[in-house]
A and B are shown apart, each in its own frame.
Chain A
Amino acid sequence: MSEDLINMIKENVIQGRKTRDDIGIDESLSGTPGVVELTESALVNNISPEVIIAQALTAGMRVVGEKFSTKEYFIPDMLASADAVGAAMDILNPLLEASNVETKGKFVIATVKGDIHDIGKNIVAILLKGAGYEVNDLGIDVPEDKIVSVVREEQPDYLGLSALLTTTMVEMGVVIKALEENSLRDKVKVLIGGAAVSDDYAKEIGADAFCADGFQAIKVLEAFETA
Chain B
Amino acid sequence: MPREGILVNNPVERLSSEQVRQIHKASMEILKDPGLLCFNKRAAEIFQSNGAGVASISGSDIPCWHVKIPEKLVADALDSAPKTVKLGARNPDNALVMKGNEARVYYITGSETNTWLDVDFSTYANKSDPTKEIKVPEFLPRRGTVADLCDSAHVCEHLETVDGYIRTVNIQDKDITEDNKDVNKFFACLNNTTKHVMSGLTSLKQLDNVVKMAELIAGSQDKLKENPIISFITCLVKSPLQFVDDTTETFMEICQRGLPVVVSSAPQAGTTAPMKEAGIIAQINAEVLAGITLGQLVNKGTPVLYGSVPVRARMDTLGDSYSAVETSQYNIDCVQMARFYKIPNYSTSGVCDTKIPGQQSSIERLFSDIVVTLSGPQYLHCAFGLLDGNSVFCLLQAVLDDTHFQRVKFFLKSPLINEQELTEIKKQIKDVVATPQKMFINYIRQVMRTGEISPPYPFESDDDSDNVFSLAYERLQELLAKPVEHIDPDTTARIFQDIPGLLPRLNVYQEGR
Within 8 A of B (CB), among A1-41: 16, 22-25
Report B10-36 CB contacts with A as 1/0, cut-off 8 Å. 000000000000000000000000000
Flag whether B317 is at the interface (Cβ < 8 A): no
Residues of B within 8 A of A74 (CB): 448
CB distance from B8 to the nearest CB of A (A): 30
Residues of B within 8 A of A126 (CB): 437
Q: How far is the CA of A32 from the CA of B263 in the complex (A)?
A: 61
Query: Which residue of B has the minimal Cβ distance to A77?
Result: B445
- Let me know if B441 and A80 touch, CB within 8 A: yes
- Let me know if A76 and B445 touch, CB within 8 A: yes
Within 8 A of A (CB), among B223-279: none
Q: How far is the CA of A16 from the CA of B445 in the complex (A)?
A: 9
Q: A122-B437, A126-B437 are in contact. Are A22 and B448 (CB under 8 A)?
A: no
Flag whether A164 is at the interface (Cβ < 8 A): no
CB distance from B295 to the nearest CB of A (A): 52
Residues of A within 8 A of B438 (CB): 122
Flag whether A169 is at the interface (Cβ < 8 A): no
Report B444-479 CB contacts with A as 1/0, cut-off 8 Å. 111011000000000000000000000000000000
- Let me know if B446 and A79 touch, CB within 8 A: no
- Let me know if B442 and A80 touch, CB within 8 A: yes
Flag whether A119 is at the interface (Cβ < 8 A): yes
CB distance from A115 to the nearest CB of B (A): 16
Residues of B within 8 A of A80 (CB): 441-442, 445
Q: How far is the CA of A6 from the CA of B160 in the complex (A)?
A: 42
CB distance from B273 to the nearest CB of A (A): 50
Report B409-452 CB contacts with A as 1/0, cut-off 8 Å. 00000000000000000000000000011110110111011000
Interface size on A, residues (CB 8 A): 17
Query: Which residue of B has the minimal Cβ distance to A74?
Result: B448
Residues of A within 8 A of B436 (CB): 137
Residues of B within 8 A of A76 (CB): 441-442, 444-445, 448
Query: Which residue of B has the minimal Cβ distance to A15?
Result: B445
Q: How far is the CA of A196 from the CA of B252 in the complex (A)?
A: 69
Counting residue pairs across A and B whose Cβ atoms lie within 8 Å, the total is 30
Interface size on B, residues (CB 8 A): 11
Q: How far is the CA of A45 from the CA of B449 in the complex (A)?
A: 35
Q: How far is the CA of A18 from the CA of B446 in the complex (A)?
A: 14
- Let me know if A25 and B445 touch, CB within 8 A: yes
Q: How far is the CA of A16 from the CA of B441 in the complex (A)?
A: 11
Query: Which residue of B has the minimal Cβ distance to A79?
Result: B441
Residues of A within 8 A of B448 (CB): 74, 76-77
- Let me know if B442 and A22 touch, CB within 8 A: yes
Q: How far is the CA of A137 from the CA of B441 in the complex (A)?
A: 18
Residues of A within 8 A of B437 (CB): 122, 125-126
Residues of A within 8 A of B441 (CB): 76, 79-80, 83
Query: Which residue of A has the minimal Cβ distance to B436?
Result: A137
CB distance from A36 to the nearest CB of B (A): 14
CB distance from A224 to the nearest CB of B (A): 25
Q: How far is the CA of A125 from the CA of B441 in the complex (A)?
A: 14
Residues of B within 8 A of A119 (CB): 439
CB distance from A134 to the nearest CB of B (A): 16
Query: Which residue of A has the minimal Cβ distance to B447?
Result: A76
- Let me know if B449 and A25 touch, CB within 8 A: yes
Residues of B within 8 A of A16 (CB): 442, 445
Residues of B within 8 A of A122 (CB): 437-439
Query: Which residue of A has the minimal Cβ distance to B445?
Result: A76
Q: How far is the CA of A24 from the CA of B443 in the complex (A)?
A: 10
Within 8 A of B (CB), among A102-124: 119, 122-123
Residues of B within 8 A of A137 (CB): 436
Within 8 A of A (CB), among B44-58: none
CB distance from A40 to the nearest CB of B (A): 20
Q: How far is the CA of A122 from the CA of B436 in the complex (A)?
A: 10
CB distance from A89 to the nearest CB of B (A): 16
Q: How far is the CA of A77 from the CA of B446 in the complex (A)?
A: 10
Within 8 A of B (CB), among A73-102: 74, 76-77, 79-80, 83
Q: How far is the CA of A123 from the CA of B441 in the complex (A)?
A: 10
Residues of A within 8 A of B444 (CB): 76
Q: How far is the CA of A100 from the CA of B445 in the complex (A)?
A: 37
Q: How far is the CA of A158 from the CA of B395 in the complex (A)?
A: 53
Report A152-178 CB contacts with B as 1/0, cut-off 8 Å. 000000000000000000000000000
Residues of A within 8 A of B446 (CB): 23
Q: How far is the CA of A81 from the CA of B143 in the complex (A)?
A: 55
Query: Which residue of A has the minimal Cβ distance to B446?
Result: A23
Q: How far is the CA of A74 from the CA of B436 in the complex (A)?
A: 23
Residues of B within 8 A of A24 (CB): 445
Task: Identify 24 residue pairs between A and B in the complex whose beta-carbon atoms are under 8 Å apart, listed by A's number.
Answer: A16-B442, A16-B445, A22-B442, A23-B445, A23-B446, A24-B445, A25-B445, A25-B449, A76-B441, A76-B442, A76-B444, A76-B445, A76-B448, A77-B445, A80-B442, A80-B445, A83-B441, A83-B442, A119-B439, A122-B437, A122-B438, A123-B439, A125-B437, A137-B436
A-B pairs, 4 with minimum CB distance: A76-B444, A122-B437, A76-B441, A79-B441
Residues of A within 8 A of B (CB): 16, 22-25, 74, 76-77, 79-80, 83, 119, 122-123, 125-126, 137
**Seed contacts A76-B448, A77-B445, A122-B438; 7 additional CB < 8 Å A-B pairs:** A22-B442, A23-B445, A25-B445, A76-B441, A79-B441, A80-B442, A137-B436
